[in-house]
Amino acid sequence: MIKQHILILALILACGFRAHSQEKLQINVASGISIQDFSWSIAGNADGTNPNILSELKYQNIVGLGLSVNGNYKILPKTSVILTIENRQTLSGTGSDIDYQHDNRTTPTYELHFNSSKGGMQHLQTGLAYNLYKNPFVTVDANVSYINTSQTFSMTSSSVPNLDTWYSTRQQGVQVGTSFHTHLGSKLQALATLSYALVDYTGIGNWNLIPTFEHPVSFMQESNGAHYGGSAGLSTKISSRISFYIAGGYFAQQINAGRDRTFLRNGVRQVTRFNGSRAASIGSSLGLQINL
């Protein structure tokens, strides 16, 4: 996926040089930091019982540092092609893995607290934006796009030798959003965005210390859900073509109940209920906006 991202970015820059005199291209390059909580659980059987929560994983305070590139190329007076590429690496985090014997998280049978300081996230978004309203003070745009996001969480512990477990997610779907720009002066703007997406979700785990599981795919979870987010910030011009901006944002996700399939080395495939997952994160970014 990284090679594809580099190729797409090269195409954006090539379009930018071609459109230099027309000022049709806008490129945003930003560095950001985020803090995320993420959790999921499974039941004891496919009916969601015996017990209703058999095993629950929580990843907490996952700190990530990343770089994003956003391109906006105008193809019609009010319509633009948009493309966003983002890569984030995990710096630190913790988590817990708890199994239960009875319903509603009662009678724990296993409990592990671990570190989750490796992993990362890759995000690709591409679509169209349309200008809904514009005057000298306010600009409002709407957009619709395809999104594809992959994220990996690690599990290591000093109390469990050789523990090197991974859980990876992939989400893809359709996102709609809107953006607002309000002029506060000749050089200063206020920025805001809102977005909502419907996604298909796949989670894959590699539990390396369980010898009865297959590796590298020990189990797979499939479902669908939604996420939403928003951001706000300020932008100031530092030249006729370059602006500096700072922004902060919030993101939340809810994945519905689905199916969990466990792959055993003896060929047996066990199916149980995936109770869904939840995620929430806050973040901030600093960047440059370049108009070509």
Q: Which of 18-32, 87-101, 243-257 shows the lowest per-residue confidence on average (mean pLDDT)?
A: 18-32
H or E stretch covering 7 = helix 2-18
Count of structural domains, the chain: 1
The pLDDT of residue 190 is above 60 = yes
pLDDT at 55: 97
Distance CA 256, CA 243 (A): 41
Q: Which of 46-50, 79-83, 237-241 shows the lowest per-residue confidence on average (mean pLDDT)?
A: 237-241
- The pTM of this model reads 0.89
The pLDDT of residue 207 is above 50 = yes
Beta bridge pairs of residue 141: 131, 179
Mean pLDDT of 53-66: 98
Phi, psi torsion values for 124, nearest 5 degrees: -130, 135
Distance CA 103, CA 44 (A): 10
Mean pLDDT of 61-66: 98
Provide the residue range defining the domain that includes 173.
Answer: 2-291
The pLDDT of residue 76 is above 70 = yes
Q: Do residues 36 and 281 make contact, with C-beta atoms less than 8 angstroms apart?
A: yes
Distance CA 201, CA 197 (A): 12
The pLDDT of residue 162 is above 90 = yes
Print burial letters for 116-133: b (CB count within 10 Å at least 16), e (below 16): bebbbbbbbbebebeeee
- In the predicted model, what is the mean pLDDT of the chain? 93
pLDDT at 17: 44
Q: Do residues 190 and 244 make contact, with C-beta atoms less than 8 angstroms apart?
A: no
The pLDDT of residue 142 is above 80 = yes
Query: Whose CA is closest to 223, among 204, 245, 246?
Result: 204
Distance CA 213, CA 205 (A): 10
CA 157 from centre of chain: 25
The pLDDT of residue 80 is above 70 = yes
- CATH number (domain holding residue 13): 2.40.128.90
- Give 24's pLDDT tier (boundaries 50, 70, 90): confident
The pLDDT of residue 157 is above 90 = yes
pLDDT at 22: 54
Burial (CB count within 10 angstroms: exposed 0-12, middle 13-18, buried 19+), residue 159? exposed
